Amino acid sequence: MARFASVVFLGAFLLFQVEPLICKYLLPWFGGVPAVWSACLVFFQTALLAGYAYAHASARRLSLRGQARLHLVLLGAASLLLLALAFRWRAPILPPASLRPEDSSHPALRILVLLAASVGFPFFLLSATGPLLQHWRARMDGVAPYRLYALSNAGSLLALLAYPTLVEPTLPLRAQGWAWSGAFLLFALGCGSCALAASRAPEAPLAPSAAAAPPAAERLARPLLWVALAGLASVMLLAMTSEMSQNVAAIPLLWILPLALYLLSLIICFDRAAWYRRRYWYPAFGLALAAITALTIGRPNAGGLGVRLLADGATLLTGCMILHGELYRLRPTAERLTAFYLFVSLGGALGGIFVGLLAPHLFRTYWEFPLALTGCALVAVLVTVREGERRPPIWEKVARLLGATALASLAVGQVGRCLQQEAHAVEMRRDFFGVLRIEDVGSGLDRGFALFNGTIVHGWEFSDPSRAALPTAYYDEKSGLGLAFAGLRARRPAGEGLRAAVLGLGVGTSAALGRPGDRFRFYEIDPSVIRFARGEGGYFHFLGLLSAPPPELIEGDARLSLERELAAGQRGDLDLVAVDVFTGDAIPLHLLTEEAVRLYLARLRPDGVLAFHVSNKYLDLAEVVLGIGDRLGLASFDLKTQNDLPRSFASHWILLSPDASLFREPVFIHAQGTIGHETRRVVWTDDRSDVFGLLRGRSD
């Protein structure tokens, strides 16, 4: 038993260690948006389903010896594949740069193809390990070893906890890929040993169930319940992960936290029946749901990020405890073990497909989050209405019914949040990169249209024609970006235009800072943003302000586009590179690393400016920008502006330049900013970035 337990544990560990590893590697290829992780989870859950289907078919169709031999062949083939890729790729599971996308079309499909090519076959075999080895033990001992399922989830949980705390901080991605591949080869040897043991052991008859066989109708309905409960838990997982990632950054730690809580609920529920008690977990879910409702509907900024993550985590854990607890109560006996895991994985895959692939096309906003909460509350209501293991007194039955109804009411309150967003929007659009919402704001001369992503305004324009050309939001003449343009113009001959690259388009407001002769190039990965900025719907017109030449719009990830341009010989040709690439308060880390800044500098003239918009509710991004500036020997100018409503919003810009004399221009000296700074030691790189070390004590 110890041999099987160790292999199941190692297989689960590798299964969940590769998920954040490969997703972090692919993240910069698709703009660093949270939806990359959702697309990856769709693949992982579908591959898990394929592995469980293989285990079930093998158990149904082959003898124990036949199953073991087939699995040995597949393990050998996967090992040979990794060895072959080791000679062609930088690491056996990390695709080469030649496979990076050229544009932003079909991102979800491209992610699925890349994952299938890189980790698909090994992941498939790792997925089959748990149910297959449990079936082998059941056939060898005659008893269903459900506790091996809890052990498997414990290995998965340990892998998730180890990645952000041990693996990510100490090993670069290439070393991680090699280490994982080597560990897979060790797993293949161990799993092969278990296969040999199973092939040589006599098959024991399965222990008969002590319970009476359920009616035929219930036998047909039970697999549907397995799928529904597992699918709803999967929807909760992905919806909560998306909710967390949109507030801070698409980083492994914020993917791992909800997934770890999801696995923890599986470990608790499948270890023993005594851990799941409805009388405790239903009220706990109600309290968590009340807290998150108060935060998302009542006071969205109350308590800061820590309180929000605590409420999100508590809601996910207690909700999954209810769903997985009810799933465990419906578990079958040993003869249907692989079928049970197959239906559970089918539910997980369907939930992932719903959130990762279908929801962006079905909904205009993030409806899956309130729907998952409502579904979980509905399960509680249905279970409460049903008679339990005993007949409670009428007062207890009424109390339980009232409690379940309260749960449902709180969940429905989350639905109201989405309805309110849709009611206030004059137009709403959702795609892989997020949800965009246009609202009609203000009145009279101050009336205009604003583009929102979540709760963050990404630009707005006055409707009055006499004010439509005014730079607004975070980009007026007094902002850091406005001063950068003014300072550069003071050093150029009269009439000489500036060449500016702006990473992040918004509604194109920064073009209002330009003059005829300036050349703007905008980099934007979201096609919907590009269409709105170009004037679709008639809301925004900033890109048409310059009579000549018209701004260039480069669709795709900004860093990949700049790298291609640099390889084509475009070097030292820009006066200004502005980085304003945040979606809500989430940040694409790959655009704020030392390697990224070196790329920007390669495109910059010796007396040019790098402008970073570092306004953020949760993270002190100025520490990162100034730390990289120290590392590269750049002079700095730090400017915070206050609200000047309705025209402009409070903003925080950091300007860096290779030419320290630039910031001695009068425009900077007379501004209320800081020239120069104390030494900063925070430096992000492509391999290492400590987001949580920059958390503010409270939200602004």
Give the pLDDT confidence of 61-120 residue by residue, as tens digits.
888 888 888 989 999 999 999 999 888 887 889 998 888 887 777 888 899 999 999 999
Name 499's bridge partners.
519
CB 311 within 8 A of CB 287: no
pLDDT of residue 144: 54
Name 641's bridge partners.
651
Residue type, 267: I
Average pLDDT over every residue of 177-182: 93
pLDDT of residue 188: 92
Give the 3-state secondary structure of residue 1.
coil
173 half-sphere exposure, CB direction, 13 A CA radius:
22
Q: Which of 397-411, 484-498, 635-649 has the weakest average pLDDT?
A: 397-411
Say whether pLDDT at 145 is over 80.
Answer: no
Please return the burial class of 207, using the count of CB atoms within 10 Å of its CB with bins 0-12, 13-18 and 19+. middle
**Structure confidence by residue, pLDDT tens digits, 357-385:** 888 888 888 888 888 888 887 787 777 66
Q: Where, residue-wise, is CATH 1.20.1250 in the chain?
A: 1-203
Give CA 64 to chain center in angstroms: 41
Higher pLDDT pick, 227 / 133: 227
| pLDDT band with cut points at 50, 70 and 90 for residue 328 | confident
pLDDT of residue 326: 87
pLDDT of residue 689: 76
**Structure confidence by residue, pLDDT tens digits, 252-298:** 567 778 888 888 888 888 777 778 887 788 888 888 888 877 777 65
| pLDDT band with cut points at 50, 70 and 90 for residue 389 | very low
**Structure confidence by residue, pLDDT tens digits, 574-586:** 999 999 986 555 6
Give the 3-state secondary structure of residue 434.
strand
Task: Provide DSSP, 364-397.
Answer: SS-THHHHHHHHHHHHHHHHHHS--SS---HHHH
Query: Considering the chain, what percentage of its residues have pLDDT values greater than 70?
Result: 84
Tokens matching residue 243: 């909710």
pLDDT of residue 142: 53
Average pLDDT over every residue of 391-416: 66
What's phi and psi for 653, nearest 5 deg? -120, 140
Residue type, 175: A
| pLDDT band with cut points at 50, 70 and 90 for residue 600 | very high
| pLDDT band with cut points at 50, 70 and 90 for residue 1 | low
Mean pLDDT score across all residues of the chain:
83
The residues, any chain, with a CB within 8 Å of residue 169's CB and separated by 6 or more, are 688, 690
**Structure confidence by residue, pLDDT tens digits, 508-565:** 999 999 988 899 999 998 899 999 999 999 999 999 887 667 899 999 889 999 999 9
**474-694 belongs to CATH 3.40.50.150:** yes
Dist CA 370 CA 540 (whole Å):
32
pLDDT of residue 375: 83
| pLDDT band with cut points at 50, 70 and 90 for residue 498 | very high
Q: Where, residue-wise, is CATH 3.40.50.150 in the chain?
A: 474-694
Say whether pLDDT at 196 is over 50.
Answer: yes
- Residue 517: CB atoms within 10 A of its CB come to 13
The CATH classification of domain 1-203, taken from the options 1.10.260, 1.20.1250, 1.10.357, 2.40.50? 1.20.1250
Tokens matching residue 255: 């993917």
What's phi and psi for 697, nearest 5 deg? -65, -25
Query: Between vectors from CA 696 to CA 693 and to CA 697, what angle results, nearest 5°?
Result: 110
**Structure confidence by residue, pLDDT tens digits, 332-360:** 766 676 788 888 889 988 988 888 888 88
**Structure confidence by residue, pLDDT tens digits, 445-495:** 889 999 988 767 888 999 998 898 899 999 999 999 999 999 999 988 877
**Structure confidence by residue, pLDDT tens digits, 200-209:** 766 655 555 4
Tokens matching residue 41: 């989870």
Give CA 317 to chain center in angstroms: 18
pLDDT of residue 202: 65
pLDDT of residue 285: 85
Dist CA 675 CA 455 (whole Å):
32
| pLDDT band with cut points at 50, 70 and 90 for residue 699 | very low
536 half-sphere exposure, CB direction, 13 A CA radius:
12
Query: Between vectors from CA 651 to CA 649 and to CA 653, what angle results, nearest 5°?
Result: 150
**Structure confidence by residue, pLDDT tens digits, 289-298:** 888 777 776 5
